[in-house]
Amino acid sequence: MATSTPPARDAVLLVNLGTPSAPTPRAVRRYLAQFLHDHRVVQLTRWLWCPLLHFLILPLRSPRVARKYAEIWMDEGSPLAVHTRRLAEAVQARLPDVRVSHAMRYGEPALASALAGLQASGAARILVLPLYPQYSTTTTASVVDVVEAVAADGDGVRVVDDYAVDPGWVSAVAGSIRAHWQAQGRGDLLLFSFHGIPQRLVDAGDPYRRRCEAGVEAIAAALALESADYRVAFQSRFGREPWLQPATDQLLQALPAEGVRRVDVVCPGFAVDCLETLEEIAMQNAAAFRAAGGESLSYIPCLNDAPAHAEALAAIATRALDAWRTGTDGP
């Protein structure tokens, strides 16, 4: 008699930011509209922000950003979508007794539907693992907003809030930098570039900058780096208000005058490669660095679906699920 596999009682849902479904102005506009209506991302009041967004930002930005997506688009889709899907498969291979899937905060597969689907399938424990190593109100808290809206009492769903100094993840990032240096040679300086956020949010208590710096310290220690060997900067500024400093693009253009001819750039805030790493860093900033007198910018890819990354995330999920099952952590 044929037997069917019982549904896994525990589930892990990897959640990434999201990305357009196509490199076209229309698809980019749809994605940006959802993203930029999130009050965790833009805090302006609706009556001020909506006219600006609908009549100025979306019409002007969507075609320009669509051209950038077209430059990095893969045969199977947007790099962020492709790498996130492959990462989820790699984590699943390491957790045979748990159902692993992925969802996006903006766009598809939608986080709310993925959660509702897991609940309907009878999963007893759903562990949401946002693919943001460093907690921020702009990213992780926005995932929590959706979780709380779908699982009103929080019962059966938990969220990992941060893994900025998790030893497995730190060792995976350090290992990827070491491997890059072995294969490509080492530059004069290593730049850690993180996505920025408005300085105003950090002043109001967002721990993001501290979490980025704590992670850098741990990675630098794992690589036995001296403080002169590396710098930290923040990229991808959006809007006019002050964002975290120093800005990656400005720092890169100042480095040649300080005698830095070859720079290595790693982006440990991004779990997988995306527009902000492949286009902004590896294309745009690399060209600007050379134009400012630098010789070469060597981009160190994100962990993507590397075995060490999948192992680190699987271990984080296993620890959280074990603590949940045995009641050895708080709710």
Ligand X SMILES: C=CC1=C(C)c2cc3[nH]c(cc4nc(cc5[nH]c(cc1n2)c(C)c5CCC(=O)O)C(CCC(=O)O)=C4C)c(C)c3C=C
Q: State the binding site.
A: 195, 276
Q: φ, ψ for residue 171 (rounded to 5)?
A: -70, -35
Q: φ, ψ for residue 219 (rounded to 5)?
A: -70, -40
Residue 78 interacts with, from ligand X, Fe ion, none (CB under 5-8 Å by kind): ligand X
Strands 262-266 and 296-300: parallel
Residue placing its CB nearer to ligand X in the complex, 57 or 174: 57
Residue 50 interacts with, from Fe ion, ligand X, none (CB under 5-8 Å by kind): Fe ion
Q: Give the length of the chain.
A: 331
Residue 156 and residue 288 in contact, taking contact as beta carbons nearer than 8 Å: no
Alpha helices, DSSP H, located in the chain: 25-35, 46-52, 58-72, 79-94, 111-120, 140-150, 167-184, 199-203, 208-222, 248-254, 286-291, 307-326
Closest chain position to Fe ion (CB): 50
Is 49 a binding residue for ligand X by CB under 6 A? The answer is no
| Nearest distance, CB of residue 83 and Fe ion, angstroms | 16
Binding residue count for ligand X, defined by CB under 6 A? 22
Is 87 a binding residue for ligand X by CB under 6 A? The answer is no
- Tell me the Ramachandran region of residue 13: left when phi exceeds 0, alpha when psi lies from -120 to 50, beta otherwise: beta
> What residue numbers does the annotated binding site for Fe(2+) cover?
195, 276
* Interface pick for ligand X out of 25, 215, 269, 294 (rule CB under 6 A): 269
CA-closest candidate to residue 33, choices 65, 4, 78: 65
Residue placing its CB nearer to ligand X in the complex, 66 or 98: 66
Residue placing its CB nearer to ligand X in the complex, 8 or 202: 202
Kindly list the residues in this chain that would bind ligand X in the complex (CB under 6 A). 17, 19, 32, 41, 61, 65, 78, 80, 132, 136, 138-139, 195, 197-198, 236, 238, 269-270, 274-276
